[in-house]
Amino acid sequence: MVKLTAEMKEDIKKVGVLPLATATKSGVPNVVPIAILEIDDSDEKDDYINIMNNFFLKTMNNIKENPLVALYFWTPETVGCNQIKGEVVEITAKGSVYEDFAARVRPEKPDLPLKEVLRVKVTEVFDCQLGKEAGKKKL
């Protein structure tokens, strides 16, 4: 059960583009920039990060083999540096999650394919700020 803090949610909005790390089953890494994402905190127990797939190739292949992912966010404007670990629990191109998200994105990005939404369940958050707390689990 992991709920991001209000401060973390605000920091994610400030960053704009977050790196998403995936790996094959055998551990070959891949990182892509993610700009179209939203935090879904409607569940009482867990937070989810919805990510729109527009051009994922290696990323989707990796997720199908290994659904564990990581994101991190930091800029000079954010309060801290945080790494989020999670699991892709759903990939969908239909239903309310997809339709609602696509409806918000389409007017601003009409040329994107908006293929599907990846729902990442947040499982852990770690500190990646310089200092003695670096690498320690926050949530």
pLDDT tens column, 67-92? 999 999 988 888 889 999 999 999 99
Kindly indicate the confidence band of residue 16, based on its pLDDT and cuts at 50, 70 and 90: confident
Residue 24 burial class via C-beta count within 10 angstroms: exposed 0-12, middle 13-18, buried 19 and up: middle
The whole-angstrom separation of Cα 122 and Cα 135 is 17
End-to-end Cα spacing for the chain: 9
Q: What CATH code would you report for 6-137?
A: 2.30.110.10
Taking the C-alpha atoms of 53, 55, 57 and 59 in order, what is their torsion angle to the nearest 10 degrees? -40
Average pLDDT in the 104-111 region? 96
DSSP 8-state class, residue 132: T
95 φ/ψ sector (left φ>0, alpha ψ -120 to 50, else beta): left
The whole-angstrom separation of Cα 90 and Cα 86 is 12
Q: Where are the domains of the chain?
A: 6-137
pLDDT tens-place string over residues 30-76:
999 999 999 999 999 999 999 999 999 999 999 999 999 999 998 88
